[in-house]
Amino acid sequence: MTAYLEGHLAPVPDEIESFDLPVTGALPPELTGRYLRNGPNPRPGADPGHWFGGDGMLHGIRLRGGRAEWYRNRWVRTGQLAGERRFRPDGTLDMSVHSANTHIVGHADRLLALCEAGLPYEVTGELDTLGPHDFGGKLLTPMTAHPKQDPVSGKLYFFGYSFQPPFLTYHRLSAAGELERSVEVDLPAPIMMHDFAITERHVVWLDLPLTFDLGLVGSGIPFRWNDEHPTRLGVMDRDGGTRVQWFEIDPCFVFHVGNAHEDAAGRIVLDAVRYSRTAFRSVWSGMSGSAAESGDSGGSLHRWTLDPATGVAREQALDDLAVEFPTINEDRVGLGHRYVYAAGGSGSVVKYDTRSGSPAVHDLAPHQVAGEAVFVPSGGGEDEGWLLSVVTDTAADSSELLVLDATSVEPVASVALPRRVPSGFHGSWIGDTE
């Protein structure tokens, strides 16, 4: 058995639904909507060869009036799930044949299940699959699983990367969901770019040393650490031309960005979880099913300050705790932020105050693993709201939806789920008014 098919990652064999779920504590009545989360869940007996390759499964919990009305889980019915071939007979890529296993977001009255390998899949609020969505035939590249919505304009910014030219394409959706801009961005080689960032005026690109390797096709995820590839961050006008100012940084990899913004001096400030070469190789080997290589325990929260006037990048470790899945109050996307939330590798939910530098930690019980903590606002303050996280207990073979007060990182309620939910990737809170 491989690591991504056992323990807290072990897939579940079927789709179920359950109603009137048990609640401990008091669910805030303002939590009226659906918490939806995506993650890999290979079909029974299937081995995708890498944690990232499993078929996508959505898990949803409906909250309303202080009650947890239902839980249900559904596979995203993609071309991959149907057993279709990734390449057509003419050699072209079918962008509907992939896993759609990484994220689910709402935009312009649509729910989109995302994976960077292909097109988004539209689903209903009850998690039924409607099919691939290409924005009226305009989207000709894959779509990242980490689009960024401008909290002021409502526009959605995203990109697609490819193993063949163009290696990177930048896109912008209107608030109404119309694809209004697609431009190629020059890169020297095909890379894995899992995430990116926006500020009020710029896009921040991550050109990092995980490059495509043709020899790995068919044996998991065909990317490897490449010491010959430069490590750099790029700054580009998000609504104008495609000229990129590149900043060289120390070799590292970033799966997930917390946020970026422009400071008073016009510098770009980026907060993200950084992996050293040894930390990345250790984590990546475990994701691939082999024994984890010795090395650092994981990534930690770092800050880069990029000065366009001097071309110099400054790197700063904000903490040394192993964390992942950084999130923020999404009303601050691209703007100045103070707080970053993350899942701790030791079984915790962590709140970072980037001004004071002191983290607040909610430790879970032994054998419990926290998923991404999604922030749901409740007031005007940046940290006024709740954090929602699916917590999986490997000893009890069970899961719960944990609700924390985001100001104190203390629990206010939990919802007992009718089955163990495999630890997955990303989710969204979809309020009834959205």
Q: What integer pLDDT is reported at residue 293 of this predicted model?
A: 52
Q: What integer pLDDT is reported at residue 291 of this predicted model?
A: 55
Q: What integer pLDDT is reported at residue 140 of this predicted model?
A: 96
Q: What integer pLDDT is reported at residue 295 of this predicted model?
A: 54
- Residue 26 to residue 38: CA distance in whole angstroms: 26
Q: What integer pLDDT is reported at residue 159 of this predicted model?
A: 98
Q: What integer pLDDT is reported at residue 282 of this predicted model?
A: 92
Average pLDDT over residues 100-125: 98
**Residue 174 near residue 180 (C-beta atoms within 8 A):** yes
- Residue 350 to residue 331: CA distance in whole angstroms: 20
Q: How confident is the model at residue 153 (pLDDT cuts 50, 70, 90)?
A: very high
Percent of the chain with pLDDT over 70: 98
**What tens digit of pLDDT does each residue of 372-419 get?**
999 999 988 999 999 999 999 999 999 999 999 999 999 999 999 999
Nearest to 429 by CA among 103, 9, 26, 65: 103
Q: What integer pLDDT is reported at residue 286 of this predicted model?
A: 85
Percent of the chain with pLDDT over 90: 90
Domains defined along the chain, listed by start: 3-431 (2.130.10.10)
**What tens digit of pLDDT does each residue of 156-196 get?**
999 999 999 999 999 999 999 999 999 999 999 999 999 99
Nearest to 181 by CA among 118, 122, 138, 151: 138
Place of tokens 């983290």: 359
What is the residue-averaged pLDDT of the chain? Answer: 95
Q: How confident is the model at residue 1 (pLDDT cuts 50, 70, 90)?
A: low
**What tens digit of pLDDT does each residue of 295-339 get?**
556 999 999 999 999 999 999 999 999 999 999 999 999 999 999
390: number of Cβ within 10 Å = 26
pTM: 0.96
**What tens digit of pLDDT does each residue of 12-39 get?**
999 999 999 999 999 999 999 999 999 9
Radius of gyration of the chain (CA): 20
**What tens digit of pLDDT does each residue of 263-296 get?**
999 999 999 999 999 999 999 988 987 655 555 5
Q: What integer pLDDT is reported at residue 92 of this predicted model?
A: 82
